[in-house]
Amino acid sequence: MSTASLVGFIGFGAMASRMGANLAKAGYGLVAYTPSGKGGDGSTRFVPTPRALAQEADVVIVCVPDDEALEASLQGADGVLAGMKPGSLLINTSTVAPETSVALAEQGKALGLTVIDAPVAGSTPEAESGNLIILAGGTAEAISRAQPMFDAMGRLTIHAGPAGSGSRLKLVINGIMGATLAVVAEGVTYGLASGLERDMLYDALDAVPVISPHHKRKLKAAKAGDFSPQFPTRLMQKDMRLLLTDGARQMAPLPAMAAATQSLSLTRRRYPNEDYSALFAVMESMVANTP
């Protein structure tokens, strides 16, 4: 893939804009469309419809919140698929249901397109520094074609398997991430309820190796009461829901992840747009009578 290629982004929010910045540093041209109609910082050109973007771009990268937004952006007379030329490459970095990724790959094949499901592991800090992990589903040929772009956006590409495999691997990772945070929050809840001093408790958990670096970052934020969204609760709870739905389809027992989803559902109701670590605030409020 030549670095002269024009990459079009459908969705240009916190993650995509940082991914785009790294592609621009690598020499790619950028054009974008946002479903909200908002966007534009002077360095990226925005177009009025997904179809208009697809007619211009050599590669389309989709980064939208959920299955519904993906459908709205891709399908219909003004959708991406109506504007893409045969032979073009479509990369979906959105976290969506695995069956959605499989269906999109089949639809793309019928239109002569190459489609990769490529959700990413990492939050906004990793997106900004180019240290994302790309979880790619598709053919080896397709992954090879996209590899220069993946290298610009991330530090590692994992070819998870055929279409839909990237989506499945992303649900595995986010399920572990969400369920583990819920367990850490429960530990904090017990500690506070039993009378342990709050700052000591948070500092102790930050010092021990049993807590992952990711969750130590969340602990620091929770101690300070800073839930600025790196991964909003509404998206984490959505991913847990997708995991449980596909898990039931696969007859995979997920009792711990199911329990964590209930806590994250409560958190989403109270803090939908804050970071999912706001679960700490929910749990603390139960035992400390804090807001």
Express each pLDDT in 19-55 by its tens digit. 999 999 999 999 999 987 665 555 789 999 999 999 9
Q: Which residues have CB under 8 Å from 269's CB, separation 6+?
A: none
The DSSP H or E segment spanning 147 is: helix 140-153
* pLDDT on residue 43: 76
**Could you state, in order of their start, the residue ranges of all structural domains in the chain?**
6-161, 168-288
CATH class of 168-288: mainly alpha
CATH of 6-161, one of 3.40.50.720, 2.60.120.10, 3.40.710.10, 3.20.20.70: 3.40.50.720
Q: Which amino acid is at 132?
A: L
In this prediction the pTM is 0.93
Counting DSSP H helices and E strands in the chain, the numbers are 13, 9
Please report how the helices 14-25 and 140-153 are oriented relative to each other, as an axis angle in degrees rounded to 10: 90
- pLDDT of 2 over the 80 cut: no
- pLDDT of 3 over the 60 cut: no
Query: Would you list the DSSP string of 13-45?
Result: SHHHHHHHHHHHHTT-EEEEE-TTS----SSSE
Residues belonging to the active site = 170
Express each pLDDT in 213-226 by its tens digit. 999 999 999 999 99
Express each pLDDT in 118-167 by its tens digit. 999 999 999 999 999 999 999 999 999 999 999 999 999 999 999 999 99
**Two domains, one topology: 6-161 and 168-288:** no
Query: What is the rounded (10 degree) CA torsion for 115, 233, 238, 171?
Result: 60
User: Rounded to whole angstroms, how far apart are CA atoms 274 and 55?
Assistant: 36
Three-state SS at 121 = strand
Q: What is the DSSP letter of 122?
A: -
* pLDDT on residue 166: 98
